[in-house]
Amino acid sequence: IVASPSNPTGTSMTPEQTRDVVAAVRARGGFSIVDEIYQGLYYGENEGDRATSALTFGDDVITVNSFSKYFSMTGWRLGWLVLPESLVPAVEKLAQNLFICAPAIAQHAALAAFHDDAIAIFEERRREFRRRRDFLVPALRDLGFQVPVLPDGAFYVYADITQVNHALAHDSSAFGMAVLRDALVALVPGDDFGFAAPKQHVRFSYATKYERIEQAGGRR
């Protein structure tokens, strides 16, 4: 099970990496389940870049997607799976016991999301996330944060705090509370994201106005 682009790093697997993961799982008789919920909010090196779906690498791949991110329908609880035909009966049984069907109002909203004027808004929003990323990452580095991998999707930066000039730069939870108290900037400590050096990382979200990000970046 992998996510690309991911939370908390906002980074994506390359097509080659995805292909190799799928091949390795297939060789062991397993299924690759790829969360592509943030894939619509991908922005690579070039303006027109698009992410490559894991479905490219075989019809035995399962992908998970949603209207919540690219289509701005967070909370509408509407998404979809693409999966091998042989798994459809089992997944239908699971769906019947979990939710029966999607609400009618959410389905109508999803249909409206495909109108040309709606897509234009979503694409402008995607470009705006890239603009915010391009401001925030250098601003964080100027403050002493280390950002080892440039986000290419979603709206997160996962930063190393160990070189920040702060007494609590060894404890992401305490550091986050201090930044909230002293600078009025909210961030999420690495403790919420697993066991890979959580005390030295924090996640910043740039799902807010550009002007607010500028304001936050100027605080010390």
pLDDT in tens, 21-68: 999 999 999 999 999 999 999 997 766 677 899 999 999 999 999 999
Q: Please tell me the distance from the alpha carbon of residue 5 to that of residue 12, in angstroms, as a whole number.
A: 4
| Residue of 211 and 100 predicted with greater confidence | 211
The predicted-structure confidence for 163-194, as pLDDT tens digits, reads as follows 999 999 999 999 999 999 999 999 999 999 99
Listed in sequence order, the DSSP H helices in the chain are 15-27, 88-98, 104-112, 116-142, 172-183, 210-217
149 Cβ contact partners less than 8 Å away, ≥ 6 residues apart = 9, 11, 158
pLDDT at 8: 96
What pLDDT, on the 0 to 100 scale, is given for residue 219? 83
pLDDT given at position 50: 79
Angstrom CA distances, 109 to 101, 135, 179, 216, stand at 15, 33, 39, 34
Hey, how many other C-beta atoms are within 10 angstroms of the C-beta on 152? 21
- 177-180-185-190 Cα dihedral, nearest 10 degrees: 10
pLDDT at res. 47? 62
- Res. 84 pLDDT band, cuts 50 70 90: very high
Distance, first Cα to last Cα, the chain: 39
Longest dimension (CA), the chain: 56
Q: What percent of the chain has pLDDT over 70?
A: 98
What pairing do the DSSP bridges indicate for beta strands 2-3 and 79-82? unpaired
- Per-residue pLDDT, averaged over 102-118, amounts to 95
Domains recognised in the chain with CATH numbers? 2-115 (3.40.640.10), 117-217 (3.90.1150.10)
Structure confidence at residue 218 (pLDDT): 87
